[in-house]
C-alpha cells in the first residue's frame, strides 16, 4: 500500500515537472526575433506634414518639459522649489514664528498656523499667528500675517482683544528681512 502511494506521488511529481519544463524547452529552441528599435509615434503624416514618424514628438510643455521642482535658471525665481511657495519666505516665516508652538504647517499651500502662546511671566494673555506665503517669488507682497490676541477674564474664559495695528506689518517686515538674508547667503556661495 505504501509502495503504491509512493509510486503515484512520484508519477504526479514527474508529470508536473514535465508540464512546467516543456514550455521552457520549446521557447529555448526557437530563433531570436529581430525587431525595430523604435516604433511609430502615431502622428498622421498627412496632417503634420512630417514624413519621419520615428522622431521623438514635441512636448506640449515646451522644450524644457514640465518643471515640477522649481526653476533655478533665473535669479527672479530663485528660491522657488518643489514646496509650492518661495523657499526663502517659507524658511524665514518658520524662523520668525519658531518661538511659538506650531498647530499646522503646509509647505504646498504656504500656510503656517501657530497654536496659542503665552509669553513667560504673562499668564492672562495669549497670542496666535497665521502666516500665508502668497507667491513663488521673493516679493514684499508675497507674505501676509494675521495676528490674534486673547485675554483671560476672571471667570477663566478667553475673549478676543484687538492687536496693535502695526503688529502684523512688523512681523511681515521681519519675515521679509530674514528671507533676504537667506537669499543673499545662498547667492554668495
- What value does the mean pLDDT take over residues 23-28? 64
Residue indicated by cell numbers 500656510: 111
Has residue 31 been placed in a domain?
no
> Does residue 176 belong to any structural domain of this protein?
yes
The answer to whether the Cα torsion of 115, 120, 124, 130 is positive or negative is negative
Per the domain annotation, does 142 fall within a domain? yes
Residues 93-125: pLDDT tens digits?
A: 999 999 999 999 998 889 999 999 999 999 899
> 171 in a domain, yes or no?
yes
Q: What range does the domain containing 97 cover?
A: 87-187
The Cα–Cα gap between 131 and 113 comes to 6
* pTM exceeds 0.85: no
Local structure of 169: helix, strand or coil: helix
- Percent pLDDT > 90 in the chain is 45
**E strands, the chain, in order:** 102-106, 111-114, 125-133, 143-152, 158-161
Q: What is the DSSP letter of 99?
A: T
Which residues face 133 on adjacent strands? 143
67-101 pLDDT, tens digit per residue, is 665 555 554 455 545 567 888 999 999 999 999 99
Residue 62 backbone zone (phi > 0: left; psi -120 to 50: alpha; other: beta): left
161 domain residue, yes or no: yes
**Residue 139: C-alpha distances to residues 51, 121, 136 (Å):** 49, 37, 9
30 in any annotated domain: no
Question: Is beta strand 125-133 parallel, antiparallel or unpaired with respect to 102-106?
Answer: unpaired
Q: Is residue 149 part of a domain?
A: yes
Cα gap 132→112, rounded to integer Å: 6
What domain count does the chain have? 1
pLDDT per residue over 159-173, tens digit each?
Answer: 999 999 899 999 999
CATH of the domain at 123: 3.30.530
**Phi first, then psi: what are they for 123, rounded to 5°?**
-100, -15
Say how far apart CA 157 and CA 46 lie, in whole Å: 77
The predicted pLDDT at position 63 comes to 64
Is 162 among the domain residues? yes
Amino acid at each position: 500500500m505504501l509502495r503504491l502511494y509512493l509510486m503515484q506521488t512520484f508519477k504526479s511529481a514527474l508529470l508536473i515537472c514535465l508540464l512546467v519544463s516543456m514550455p521552457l524547452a520549446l521557447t529555448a529552441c526557437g530563433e531570436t526575433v529581430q525587431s525595430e528599435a523604435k516604433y511609430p509615434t502615431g502622428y498622421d503624416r498627412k496632417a503634420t506634414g512630417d514624413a519621419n514618424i520615428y522622431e521623438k514628438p514635441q512636448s506640449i510643455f515646451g522644450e524644457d518639459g514640465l518643471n515640477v521642482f522649481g526653476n533655478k535658471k533665473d535669479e527672479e525665481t530663485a528660491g522657488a522649489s518643489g514646496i509650492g511657495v518661495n523657499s526663502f519666505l517659507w524658511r524665514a516665516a518658520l524662523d520668525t514664528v519658531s518661538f511659538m508652538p506650531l498647530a499646522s504647517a503646509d509647505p504646498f499651500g504656504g500656510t503656517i498656523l501657530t497654536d496659542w502662546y503665552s509669553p513667560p511671566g504673562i499668564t492672562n494673555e495669549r497670542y496666535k499667528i497665521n502666516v500665508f506665503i502668497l507667491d513663488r517669488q521673493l516679493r514684499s507682497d508675497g507674505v501676509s500675517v494675521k495676528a490674534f490676541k486673547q485675554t483671560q477674564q476672571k471667570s477663566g474664559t478667553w475673549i478676543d482683544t484687538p492687536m496693535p495695528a502695526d503688529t502684523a506689518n512688523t512681523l511681515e517686515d521681519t519675515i521679509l528681512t530674514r528671507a533676504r538674508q537667506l537669499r543673499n547667503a545662498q547667492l554668495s556661495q
